[in-house]
Amino acid sequence: MLTGVKSMVKYPSGSMAAFRKPANKPKLRRAYHHKKGVNFSDRGMTLEQQINESNKYYLEEEIAVVHKKPTPIQIVKVDYPKRSKAVIREAYFRQASTTDYNGVYQGYYLDFEAKETRNKTNFPLKNFHEHQIFHLAKCLKQDGICFTIIGFTSLQRYFVTPASFVIKAWRTKDKSSMTLKEIEDHSIEIKSGFRPTLPYLMAVDHFISVRKVNNDK
Amino acid sequence: MLTGVKSMVKYPSGSMAAFRKPANKPKLRRAYHHKKGVNFSDRGMTLEQQINESNKYYLEEEIAVVHKKPTPIQIVKVDYPKRSKAVIREAYFRQASTTDYNGVYQGYYLDFEAKETRNKTNFPLKNFHEHQIFHLAKCLKQDGICFTIIGFTSLQRYFVTPASFVIKAWRTKDKSSMTLKEIEDHSIEIKSGFRPTLPYLMAVDHFISVRKVNNDK
């Protein structure tokens, strides 16, 4: 299920893309057929739903403990009705200071952010907020395993990209997006499946093995 | 600043405690004098405030990345007033499924819960909720460094206790509390200070060194 870095599929850029024929039709057909055979696909779930389901699976199977962080809220007013639970009547969204997900897997600290796009050829870097990039950089300094999960929903393709690459791209002057090719070249591609829905720990296993080879740990 | 396990100070139990003379007066006096000399004390902060300040210090100094998780909220109704930020008008508190704090320190996953009591001789186990105990146990299985920070506010004493001991006590039938002596015997005591306010990573350093000796990592 885990596939490594693939050769680039040359999608034409621009808004006419959907009306053009793919450059290498037979390959795409084969890929489509293969997918139908072995995958349950993403079943219309958002990327967040897929990750939450995967985390639930990992938790139940005692494979990893990863949770999505709640949205930070500034609570101003709470009512305590009689014989009923407390109701928050006035509250405001606060700026988060971390990524959405973190947890522990075989002694390793995991930290990641998930983003999806309907784009077919690139991922706009403005989708990452400054606090997310800063947080990932800080966790990297503490030797956490930090990455992003990028979903190209129109293509049903999902990439686990090391935070180091995303941070570098984000910090590059005048760079507004990562191309699909760049993401393919620097990521582990994972296929949407059944249990877990999105087996992102297979990519983490790869990062851990690379780290072990490099004697970082 | 980090002090190891100390001999028990024999506080009498019961409500008359405050009116009785301490059993070993000279020792208590010396301890008190010593504290005044080197510590800024807890400056009237709650345990949570002390930990948040410590985390801020650790973050700024690039020592560790630890955050308190936001309270999970179920949002039902949001108003979007013109020229003003969104206001949550109906929301409910949800049951958390984790502890309050987690993060990364030198490649290690940290997970902990903080509790305080005004008791002087024991800590009631009912202060730990089931989901906190379960979560700590799950993170332990993944080789996280898991603990609790227990503050005896009346004594101005703070203990970093390994989760394994707390879980064991919590699961012991008919055991309603951990005595101060038990906590002293199984914890690293930390002193409230200036920067950081509560240097709990000194206890974590101890846990890491023990782990290294045991070849767990």
Query: pLDDT digit string (tens) for A122-158?
Result: 999 999 999 999 999 999 999 999 999 999 999 999 9
Nearest to B139 among A65, A88, A98 (CB): A65
Q: Count chain A–chain B contacts defined by CB atoms under 8 A.
A: 109
Say whether B138 and A59 touch across the interface (CB within 8 A): yes
Q: Is the confidence at residue B9, as pLDDT, over 80?
A: no
Q: Which of A2-16, B86-100, B117-131, B140-154 has the lowest mean pLDDT?
A: A2-16
Q: Which residues of B touch A131 (CB under 8 A)?
A: none
pLDDT at B167: 98
User: CA B125, B128, B134, B137 torsion: positive or negative?
Assistant: negative
- The verdict on whether residue A100 carries a ligand-binding annotation is yes
Q: In what order do the strands lie in the sheet with A108-117?
A: A65-68, A101-105, A108-117, A145-152, A157-162, A188-190
Average confidence (pLDDT) over B107-132: 97
Q: Is the confidence at residue A31, as pLDDT, over 60?
A: no
- Report the share of chain A in percent with pLDDT over 70: 79
- On whether the CB atoms of residues A89 and A79 are closer than 8 A, the answer is yes
Instruction: Pick B217 or B103 by higher pLDDT.
Output: B103
* Residue B166 amino acid letter: V
ipTM of the assembly? 0.79
What's the mean per-residue pLDDT of chain B? 85
Q: Is the confidence at residue A6, as pLDDT, over 80?
A: no
Q: Is the confidence at residue A36, as pLDDT, over 50?
A: no
Considering only the C-alpha atoms of chain A, give the largest distance between any 2 of them, rounded to a whole number of Å.
67
Confidence of residue A112 (pLDDT cuts 50, 70, 90): very high
CA–CA distance, A135 with A97 (Å, rounded to integer): 7
What's the mean per-residue pLDDT of chain A? 85
Q: Which of A66-75, A176-185, B25-34, B205-214 has the lowest mean pLDDT?
A: B25-34
Confidence of residue A180 (pLDDT cuts 50, 70, 90): very high
pLDDT at B194: 87
Average confidence (pLDDT) over A35-39: 44
Find the distance separating the first CA and the last CA of chain A, reported in whole Å: 27
pLDDT in tens, B169-208: 999 999 999 999 999 999 999 998 889 999 999 999 999 9
Average confidence (pLDDT) over B150-177: 97
- Where is mean pLDDT largest: A197-201, B9-13, B190-194? A197-201
What letter does residue A13 receive in the DSSP assignment? P
CB atoms under 10 Å from CB of A92, counted, come to 13
List domains and CATH numbers for chain B.
39-70+96-213 (3.40.1350.10)
Q: Is the confidence at residue A97, as pLDDT, over 50?
A: yes
Average confidence (pLDDT) over A37-64: 85
- On whether the CB atoms of residues B180 and B120 are closer than 8 A, the answer is yes
- On whether the CB atoms of residues B10 and B23 are closer than 8 A, the answer is yes
Please identify which residue in the block is written with the tokens 């053009």.
A20
- On whether the CB atoms of residues B128 and B114 are closer than 8 A, the answer is no
Q: Is the confidence at residue A62, as pLDDT, over 50?
A: yes
Average confidence (pLDDT) over A26-39: 41
**DSSP conformation letters of chain B:** --B---PPP-PPPSGGGGGSPPTTHHHHHHHHHHHHHH--TTTT--HHHHHHHHHHHHHHTTS-EEEEPPPPEEEEEEE--TTS--EEEEEEE----S-SEEEEETTEEEEEEEEEE--SSEEEGGGS-HHHHHHHHHHHHTT-EEEEEEEETTTTEEEEEEHHHHHHHHHSTT--EEEHHHHHHHSEEE---SSSSS-THHHHHHHHHHHHHTT--
Nearest to B108 among A69, A89, A109 (CB): A109
CA distance A101 to chain B (A): 11
pLDDT at B33: 41
Q: Which of B100, B106, B109 to mutate to test the interface with A (most CBs of A within 10 A)?
A: B109
Say whether B86 and A64 touch across the interface (CB within 8 A): no
Q: Is the confidence at residue A20, as pLDDT, over 90?
A: no
- Report the share of chain B in percent with pLDDT over 90: 73
Q: Is the confidence at residue B11, as pLDDT, over 80?
A: no
